[in-house]
Copies of this chain bind each other. A is one copy, B any other.
Amino acid sequence: MQIAKVRGNVVSTQKEPSLRGTKLLLLQLVDEEGQPLPKYEVAADNVGAGVDEWVLVSCGSAARIVQGNEQRPLDAVVVAIIDSVRIEDRLIYSKKDQYR
């Protein structure tokens, strides 16, 4: 999984019928220190993530191993809202502190 920050969303009315009701977030991928990478992913969200939150995104067929997504042509899904990222003794990110 990659770490990403929720930046916005994508809206579509003319789409695969199976995607009706799917909330699509625009995620900016970040490196392990929290610096933005020049990569984004549009991912389905089932965990209720909001703008600026850090999340974990799963890509590929994993996107369909989520209840309700089995028959949706998705290749990316938000699987978790991150509480904290720790590298050795350093706390890189903490949702509570939002120090970044």
A residues neighboring B (CB under 8 Å): 1-3, 7-16, 18-19, 24, 26, 28, 31-32, 38, 40-43, 46-48, 51, 56, 58-66, 71-77, 79-88, 90, 92
Contacts and interface: CB of A to CB of B under 8 A. Distances in A.
Contacts of A75: 1, 58-60, 62
A19 B47 CA distance: 12
B80 A14 contact: yes
B65 A15 contact: no
Given A61-B60, A63-B73, A64-B65, A85 B26 contact: yes
A22 B24 CA distance: 25
A19 B80 contact: yes
